[in-house]
């Protein structure tokens, strides 16, 4: 029953992020950096209320590594900004599929930065996943897509890479920083770093743009809370496959709201990326269980 609650919270989180993407895409006149500011700043009060209700306000504000939060904030802010930029240039389903490269790139960065050992199974999954990303991106990278589409595909891939890098930084902070602190300070630091994009041309929102921008912040903040809460009730391996529900939302929202029709290449490439991501999660779950079992055996041997 506890795992089921975690799954429902994960679905709520992914659905919230899908709505947030729609809000950002629905305001094409707003620069990506400005959208990042509203997304991050408007989420701060939502997170503060959540921390207050959980009586975790003190722990949520406590910081052990200012440098760690700053580096994570820069990587996360750039990832968000590039992702928002990509949303304005390519269809929502394509952007979503390319962003699925994040868990695949986490494996690569974990091996390079953290020195984690990657065996043949996960290497094969990474290769298949990257092939799927290239299949999704190829029509955008050719002359068929146009220069705007090429830029959109590339910045979205860069967003996925930076998001993976941010996750690596979070892993390195896990032993010293509480999840509540990481969530809160990211929103605050992203709000600050987004201000550096002002010289690149912010505009004054008008009419529905205010609703979309504030809504992106509120819904995005709620999504972050749902996501954080989901991991309290279920293991990461159990929840990971449900993140791909975002593709269903992307197809629905893209078709009915933006008249974006999925191509065969996009669907085929996305299927490869999703399959690779699920395989990686399954393998990491197996390795985690094996490590836990070996640890118990060693403990019993020492006890004997």
Structure confidence by residue, pLDDT tens digits, 238-262: 787 888 899 999 999 999 999 998 8
Under DSSP, the state recorded for 175 is T
- In this prediction, what percent of the chain has a pLDDT beyond 90? 53
Average pLDDT in the 158-180 region?
86
Average pLDDT rounded to a whole number, residues 156-179: 87
Please give the Cα distance from 231 to 131 (Å, whole number): 30
At a CB cut-off of 8 Å and minimum separation 6, what does 254 contact? Answer: 91, 92, 93, 260, 262
Q: Which of 28, 7, 2, 1 is nearest to 238 (CA)?
A: 7
Name the 3-class secondary structure at 116: coil
Going by the DSSP 8-state scheme, the letter that residue 1 receives in this structure is -
Q: How many angstroms from the chain centroid is the CA of residue 92?
A: 15
Task: Return the top range by mean pLDDT from 3-12, 54-63, 87-96.
Answer: 87-96
What would the two tokens of residue 72 be? 């994570």
In whole angstroms, what is the distance from residue 163 CA to residue 134 CA? 18
With contact defined as beta carbons under 8 Å apart, do 194 and 61 qualify? no
Location of structure tokens 């490269």: 101
**CA proximity to 213, closest of 6, 39, 2:** 39
The mean pLDDT value for 155-167 works out to: 94
- Are residues 181 and 61 in contact, defined by beta-carbon separation less than 8 angstroms? yes
Per the CB < 8 A criterion, the answer to whether 42 and 205 are in contact is: no
pLDDT at site 233: 84
Identify which of 5, 9, 21 has the alpha carbon closest to the alpha carbon of residue 50: 9
Strands, DSSP E only, in the chain? Answer: none
Q: Does residue 72 register a pLDDT over 50?
A: yes
Summarised one tens digit per residue, pLDDT across range 13-47 is 999 999 999 999 999 999 999 999 999 999 999 99
Q: What is the mean pLDDT of residues 64-73?
A: 89
Q: What are residue 139's phi and psi, to 5 degrees?
A: -60, -30
Residue 288's pLDDT band (cuts 50, 70, 90): low
CA distance 203 to 142: 32
């Amino acid at each position: 029953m506890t795992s089921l609650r975690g799954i429902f919270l994960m679905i709520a989180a992914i659905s919230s992020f899908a709505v947030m993407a729609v809000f950002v895409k629905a305001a094409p006149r707003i620069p990506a950096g400005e959208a990042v500011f509203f997304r991050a700043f408007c989420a701060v009060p939502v997170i503060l209320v959540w921390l207050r209700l959980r009586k975790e306000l003190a722990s949520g504000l406590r910081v052990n590594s200012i440098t760690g939060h700053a580096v994570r904030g820069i990587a996360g802010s750039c990832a968000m900004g590039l992702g928002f930029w990509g949303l304005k240039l390519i269809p929502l389903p394509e952007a979503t599929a390319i962003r699925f490269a994040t868990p695949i790139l986490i494996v690569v960065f974990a091996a390079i930065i953290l020195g984690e050992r990657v065996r043949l199974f996960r290497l094969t999954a990474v290769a298949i996943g990257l092939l799927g990303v290239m299949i999704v991106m190829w029509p955008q990278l050719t002359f068929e897509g146009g220069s705007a589409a090429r830029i959109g595909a590339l910045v979205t891939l860069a967003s996925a890479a930076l998001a993976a890098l941010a996750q690596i930084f979070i892993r390195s902070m896990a032993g010293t920083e509480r999840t509540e602190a990481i969530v809160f300070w990211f929103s605050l630091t992203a709000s600050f770093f987004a201000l550096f994009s002002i010289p690149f041309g912010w505009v004054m929102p008008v009419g529905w743009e205010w609703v979309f921008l504030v809504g992106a912040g509120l819904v995005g903040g709620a999504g972050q809370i749902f996501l954080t809460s989901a991991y309290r009730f279920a293991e990461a391996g159990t929840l990971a496959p449900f993140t791909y529900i975002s593709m269903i939302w992307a197809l629905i929202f893209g078709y009915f709201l933006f008249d974006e029709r999925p191509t065969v290449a996009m669907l085929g490439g996305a299927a490869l990326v999703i399959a690779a991501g699920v395989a990686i999660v399954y393998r990491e779950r197996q390795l985690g269980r094996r490590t836990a079992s070996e640890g118990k055996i060693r403990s019993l041997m020492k006890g004997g």
